[in-house]
Each structure stands twice: as structure tokens, then as C-alpha cells.
Structure 1
Amino acid sequence: MTTRSLAVVCGAVLSSFLLASASVSAADNSPWVTTWATALQPIPQISNPPALYRAPDVAGRTLRQIVYPTLSGDVARIHISNAYGKAPLVIEELRIARSGAGAAVQVGTEARVTFSGKLAVSVPPGGEIDSDPVRVAISAGMPYAVSSFMGREQKLIAWHRVSSQVNYLSMPGNHAGDASADAYRQRITQFAWVTGVQVEAPSSSTIAAIGDSITDGMRSSLNENRRWPDALARRVAQSGDKSVAVVNLGISGNRLLTDSPCYGDALASRFGRDVLAQPGVKAAILLIGINDINFAAMPAHGGLDCDAPHTQVTADGLVAGYKRVIAAAHARGVRVFGATLTPAALPPQREAIRAEVNQWIRTSRAFDGVVDFDAALRDPADPTRLRRSFDSGDQIHPSDAGYSAMADAIPLLGAAKK
């Protein structure tokens, strides 16, 4: 694909015109569009987990989560997931309000959320549910607090572990309606249960960013929304397009082909649930594969081995996985844009796989377009490594500046016309 044609295709991703031109599916009749989302992963259920995998006590407490919608609307609904649950998920009361400082909310902005007209809901194991529509002013780019008072026996067994956002857990009791932060004494950096916020916006569309820790925003600044999908959402808004949302469905440690006890289902398996089931999604940007390449070489650990199974992969195996994702997306009328794997200072054998995969992404025309994150981040003096100013310090994850450069590598429609 030439540079010119790449610019045209990738620029068009950000226009509602091209997004709306994707093949029509049954879901296109829905007025709902996803404005914020996250993907869940199971918490390893072992007797003595490492500190990173110890779930907080949520029973009979209120969890207040801070989310940043990327599309405005006057009517919203909340999507609740009990994926990986072994028992019903019980929420006694749920509210949404404009977030204030820390765990506080702005007085007069809160709205109760109901389910079939009732305040409480019980979601069966493995089930999901949308709330009733609630009239609340959602403004793109502004923070909202979603407060859920949990059942007396509720346990947290699934989460989105790397939220890059401080959320708040209360003392025992129902504090969903509290405007002040006084009851919220515990801070956590995970999301749980609330996996989507949707708005009524029938002429709008969503771009889903999906991948591993580099999409998840690992090592980006806490509470500052400096992941590359955040930067992309800001660029879209600044371009004047108010009809396109960008949601982040990355999971740190995720692989394309292999499930993990810590890092969630393989992306090729979770793509349907996490992307295609999101209302309003018309395009996806896919960045995945570096963990498939790396984890085979990681040493095995006793007890909890998050990198297991240590499966050896080839470029051909990764390509086959990409083709599965593309086929699933096209069957639902969703366009998929393949992102090249970014530099990770790999030893020669693993670097050769990365280079072969990137060559296929760039030249195969299997994707609807290509986003060349590798070219945007690599050091011109050593293309196997991140440019120093784009390196967070571990030679794998970008800095805030690097994540911004990734968003800048996706041309806007105006740039594509030049």
C-alpha cells in the first residue's frame, strides 16, 4: 500500500462518512453508540496470589468508577458484565453523575440508573445486561462517576486490571448517592463490572482500539488519559467531528492466539464479545502480537505463572490469527485496520518474527488499511528500538510522548485530502 493510499484509508477511518459506509448489519438499526468501554479479564483464583492480583473486598460497599466518554448525548445507558462470574452479580443501586475532585461528584448532576424499572439487578454467571435509558447530559471528554452499591455477598473475580485511572471504594454501606468523597477511603486502579457507557446517537459511530498493554496505555501517566486511544479521541474532537467515539479495549499482557490465567482470553477469541458486540462500532484498530512472540521465551514461574502457556509462535501462526479477526469483523460489516508491531529491543530470532509480521501487515492488503506505529516510534539509528524520547524506560512501552506520536500517525481526513 502506498503512502498516499494509506493516508486516504486511515484518514477516512476518522470520518463518519466512511464509518457509516461499512456494510449494514442488523445492529445498525439501533440508536445506541458506545461512548466509553473497557474489557474484562479474570482474576486468578488461587489461595495466596501476588499483591497485584489480590482483589479488594467489595461486599456491601460502593465502588465509584471514573470514566471519560468520547461522544456526547442526552440519554445514556450502562452496560454491566458478569463475564467469568461463578455466582450472580448483585448491584443494589447504581448512579451516574458528573465527577468532581477525586471521589466527589458534582451536586445536582446525579441520576439513578434502573434495570427494567428496578433499582437492584442480579446478573447471572456469564451474563451481561444493559440498564434502562437514563436522561443525563453526557459531554465528551468530561469525567463521570459511576457508583455501584454491591450486594452483601459480592466478590470481585474479574476486572480490567490496568485502568491508569484511580477509582474509589467506600466504607461498608450504600454511598452511591453521596456527593462528597468522605466515605470513599480506598483507592484502586482497576475497572470492574461496568464495561460500557452508551448514548443515543443514531448518526454517530465508534472506533474500537483493541490490543495489548500498548493500547491499554501501560506506563502512561495516571489519571491523565495519555493512552494513544485517548490522544486519538482528542484529535478527532479537535478536527471538529463530533460524531465519532473512540473506545479502548486493550488488555495488558493480552495475546492474539493464547489465553492467559492473568491477561485474559486470546484476542482472536474475545474480539466478538469485546468489539463486535459494542453498539455502534464500525471500525477497529488492531495492535497485537508482541506478547505472543515474547512469552515463549519467558522463564516459567512456580505458583502463578501469568505468561503460561509459553507457546512458541511463528509469523504464519500470527497471520492466521489476524485473518480470523478480519473475517469475523467483515462478517459484521466492521472494518479492521492493522497496526504494525512496535519496536521492543528483541533478540534477533524474535525480531525476525516481528519484522516478518510487519511486512505482511504492510503489504498483504488483508486489512482495510494499515496504521504504521512501528514507523512512528522506531529509532532511525536502530529500528529495532524505540526512539529514546518515545520510550517510557522499559524499551517496550511508549512514554506519554510516544503514545501521542502513535495517535498522530493516524492521519485525519483533512490531512488525507492534501
Structure 2
Amino acid sequence: MSSNSNSQGHWVHTWASMPMLADGDNLPPDDFIKEGVAFRSTTIRQTVRLSIGTEKLLRIRLSNVFGSEPLTIAHTTLALPTKNESGTTGIQSQTIRSVSFGGSESATIPAGALIVSDAVNFGFPLQSNTVLSISIFLEDGHDARCITAHPGSRTTSYFIKGNRVSEGDFNRLDVKQTDHWYYISGIEVFAPRDTRAFALIGDSITDGRCSLTNGDTRWPDILFRRLQDTTPGLHTSLAVVNQAAGGNCVMGDGLGPNVLSRLDRDIICLSGVSSVMIFEGINDIGTAPADSHSQEVLSNRLIAAYKQIAIRLRAQDIAIIAATLTPFGIPQTDLIRHGDASVTSYCDPIRESTRQSINNWIRTCGVFDAVVDFDEILRDPADQSRLKREFDSGDGLHPNQTAFYAMADSFPLHIFEKLF
């Protein structure tokens, strides 16, 4: 793209998913793994919902970050679904666009790397909240032990044999499906210079556990729609990019790499990011032993980690917002009725003391450019160690869909005005 074009706009991430290693139930269906090779002669059709749109140009990122060998993508197409809905197979044939990488239809991604496509021109504007269908064909397949994926997609993906990237729909008798994303890690749009991205670091609460599959009802999705409903200007030119994963930790490798190790890859390398919110630390507290010494050590380390994250983001001129940690307590009656097996094992008075201590520090430390008090929004006023009953999904730890609307509706939009 010419320097003149760059003066008129810049690339901004409109969507991303945190790359993770696929294993266990997160692997493709058995029909698509043979002799240790996944996706041989297979088309993968996946959908994602953009946040902000573009007048005409976008590009995609494909990741092989967990691969132990090169990944060859034989052919990729983009298209608009027949309906603007996530998790569908049908596409509008007249919107199909082939994707090139350095001018070539195929691309080989080295182990541990990602690749950015050439700019794709649809020839017409893509509005905010547009669903994009991405079809990828792998001819040779890939080592099934080292597939880069995002297990918590809450979006259905489809697999079919042969190169079907340009077919309008799949024969459902031949197609298999699963609710995970594979290899797709980011989408950028070319947008005006005042367009920015707000990126989220989080765990299962932000990744959308308890949201509606194919409904795009995670709390960040709802927040973006609220931003779009405001007066045109600052808020409507802000992308929301979700880099959360269920089970993730700030310091220890839980499900996926810890925040300190993935910050450069998942946040700092994103295009157009001007602000980041971290809403993570519950899994660190909940997986540390529930004794006073262990929790004190954990608390000190977690605070030090938050400070490191703030330092590293500010070095890139990125504003840092923190959210308080939400409750994970269980009423005594529920503990007696269900036993430990069916409720969160995080529930413990010593861990609750750590959560309260961390939240008090977040609110008063002055390290962050702004604080969002999700704890205050979701906690039970009669017992601050618990979620409000109407916000509890049933395990005491994960907020439900009603809570996601409360989080998005209570999010203080004025902080963006202060930051920008």
C-alpha cells in the first residue's frame, strides 16, 4: 500500500482469538485425524463476527504458533454468510474472495509463527458487527499433536473432505462440526487514523463461558454493541478485541500460556491497540493452596505481575485498565446439598481474603489508568464473597448470561474519553 494510503488510514485489529494448543476434546472429529495427521485434504469453514468494519480492505492472520512443523495452507477464501449469523455453513457466492499471501494462493507457516495475508478488497463496505466466513483448505494436513486452536470459540466450525472453499454450502451428510476455532488468530481492517482497538486480557468469564453458542453474547460482544449505539464519534470508532481463554492464569500456565508470557504475542503485536483491560487473576488465586502462607506469596506475586503488565504496555503507549475480580463463594446450603464435586473448588475463606486484598489494591494503587469494578456490579450485597443469585450460573464462579448484560451495561464508557 502506498504511503499516501497510509496517511489516510491504518490497520486495526477488529477481531482476534487467543491461540492455544488443541488437545483432548478440543481436537477435530475422529474422521479428520488419520495416523496422527489432522485435516488431510480437508476444508475447514469457520465464522467470526467483526467488531468495527471497513470501507473496503481487510486482512487475516493464521497461526501455527503451537506447531512442531511447518503448516501449509493450500487455499483460503473469505465470504459473507447467507445470513449475518455466526456458526453457519452457507455463504453468498458473489462475495467469495480468494486470499493471497505474498501474491501466492498457498502459504507455508513455519513452526511457532503466524502469517498475515495480503489485503482483501470486497469492493463494498463491511459494516460493524459483520459476520465473516473463512474457508481454509489443507491438502497435506498437519500433525494432530500440535494444532493451534481456540477451544472456547462458542462458535460452530465445519469440516468436509476436498477443496470446497468456494462452494456456496456444504452437503450436511458429509460435513462434521465442532465448537472450536482452528488456525485463525486475527482479522485487521484498514480504517481511519482515529480508529483504535480496545483489547481484553481475561479468562473464561471474558471468553464467554455461559454465553449462547453462535449467539455472540459474551460480555465484550454486548459492550461493543453498546458502544455502537452511542453517539457517533469516539465510541463508535473503537474496536473490541477479545484475547481471553478459559482457565487462563496471570502467572502460571493453566489452559494456555500465562499472561506474562503471552502479552507480546496476544496484545502488543495487535494492530491499532490503544487501550487494554486485564480482568484476570481468579484462576491464580483458586489454584494456589488455600493456606495463609501460600496465599500471601500468591498475592504478592500477583500484584508484582500486574505492575509488570502495566510497565510493558505503557512502554508501547498503551493505556492499561484493570477490572476487580468477581466472587467465587458458595452458600453453605449449596455446599451441603451438592458437595464439593459439583461446585467450584475455589471457595475458601482464605482465598476469599486474597481476592478482597487484591481488589482493594486494584482500586487504590494508582497503577492503572482506570478501574472497572466488576466485583461491585456482580457481588451479593448480603454476602460479598458470592455472586448475586440472579447472576450465578450455578457453580458460584461463572457469571451467567444475565450477568454479562449487567457487566456491559454498567461498563463506564467515560473512561475512554479520559484515556483518549
Q: Alignment partner of 1:145: what SS?
A: strand
- After superposition, the C-alpha distances for 1:144-180 in whole angstroms (9 at most, x for unaligned) are 111100132324522111111111111x100110111
Matches within 5 A, 1:80-95: 80-95=62-77
- Provide the C-alpha distance between the structure 1 equivalents of 2:95 and 2:42, rounded to a whole number of angstroms: 22
Matched, 1:64 2:45: yes
Matches within 5 A, 1:10-409: 31-44=10-23, 49=24, 52-56=25-29, 57=32, 58-73=39-54, 74-100=56-82, 102-136=88-122, 137-156=125-144, 157-170=147-160, 172-182=161-171, 185-203=175-193, 204-239=195-230, 240=232, 241-260=235-254, 263-297=255-289, 314-345=298-329, 346-409=347-410
Q: Give the conservation status (yes or no) of the 8 Å contact 2:41–2:137.
A: yes
- Provide the C-alpha distance between the structure 2 equivalents of 1:192 and 1:54, rounded to a whole number of angstroms: 9
Q: Give the conservation status (yes or no) of the 8 Å contact 2:53–2:130.
A: no
Aligned-pair distance for 1:288?
A: 0.7
Q: Alignment partner of 1:80: what SS?
A: strand
Change (3 A) 1:187 1:407: same
Determine the structure 1 residue equivalent to 2:339. none
TM-score by length of 1: 0.84
Q: Structure 2 counterpart of 1:273, which letter?
A: R
Count of aligned pairs:
371
Q: Structure 1 counterpart of 2:162, which letter?
A: G
- Provide the C-alpha distance between the structure 1 equivalents of 2:67 and 2:296, rounded to a whole number of angstroms: 30
Change (3 A) 1:415 1:129: closer
- Provide the C-alpha distance between the structure 2 equivalents of 1:313 and 1:41, rounded to a whole number of angstroms: 28
Aligned-pair distance for 1:30?
A: 7.5
- After superposition, the C-alpha distances for 1:212-257 in whole angstroms (9 at most, x for unaligned) are 1011011211111111110111111111343110011001000000
Q: Give the conservation status (yes or no) of the 8 Å contact 1:207–1:247.
A: yes
- Provide the C-alpha distance between the structure 1 equivalents of 2:9 and 2:109, rounded to a whole number of angstroms: 23
- Provide the C-alpha distance between the structure 1 equivalents of 2:119 and 2:202, rounded to a whole number of angstroms: 30
- Provide the C-alpha distance between the structure 2 equivalents of 1:70 and 1:176, rounded to a whole number of angstroms: 24
Q: Give the conservation status (yes or no) of the 8 Å contact 1:216–1:251.
A: yes
Aligned-pair distance for 1:109?
A: 1.2
Aligned-pair distance for 1:312?
A: 8.8
Aligned-pair distance for 1:29?
A: 10
Aligned-pair distance for 1:107?
A: 2.4
Q: Give the conservation status (yes or no) of the 8 Å contact 2:64–2:113.
A: yes
TM-score by length of 2: 0.84
- Provide the C-alpha distance between the structure 1 equivalents of 2:275 and 2:416, rounded to a whole number of angstroms: 19
- Provide the C-alpha distance between the structure 1 equivalents of 2:142 and 2:9, rounded to a whole number of angstroms: 33
Q: Alignment partner of 2:240: what SS?
A: strand
Q: Structure 1 counterpart of 2:63, which letter?
A: S
- Provide the C-alpha distance between the structure 2 equivalents of 1:216 and 1:312, rounded to a whole number of angstroms: 28
Aligned-pair distance for 1:336?
A: 0.9
Q: Structure 2 counterpart of 1:398, which letter?
A: P
- Provide the C-alpha distance between the structure 2 equivalents of 1:311 and 1:85, rounded to a whole number of angstroms: 36
Q: Give the conservation status (yes or no) of the 8 Å contact 1:148–1:176.
A: yes
Q: How large is the RMSD of aligned CA atoms in angstroms?
A: 2.2
Q: Alignment partner of 1:245: what SS?
A: strand
Which region of structure 1 is more displaced relative to structure 2, 407-416 or 134-143? 407-416
- After superposition, the C-alpha distances for 1:256-313 in whole angstroms (9 at most, x for unaligned) are 00113xx111011101110110001110110111101111349xxxxxxxxxxx9995
Runs of 5+ consecutive residues of structure 2 not aligned to the other structure = 1-5, 33-38, 330-346
Aligned-pair distance for 1:409?
A: 2.4
Aligned-pair distance for 1:77?
A: 0.4
Q: Alignment partner of 1:144: what SS?
A: strand
- Provide the C-alpha distance between the structure 2 equivalents of 1:347 and 1:165, rounded to a whole number of angstroms: 34
Change (3 A) 1:129 1:416: closer
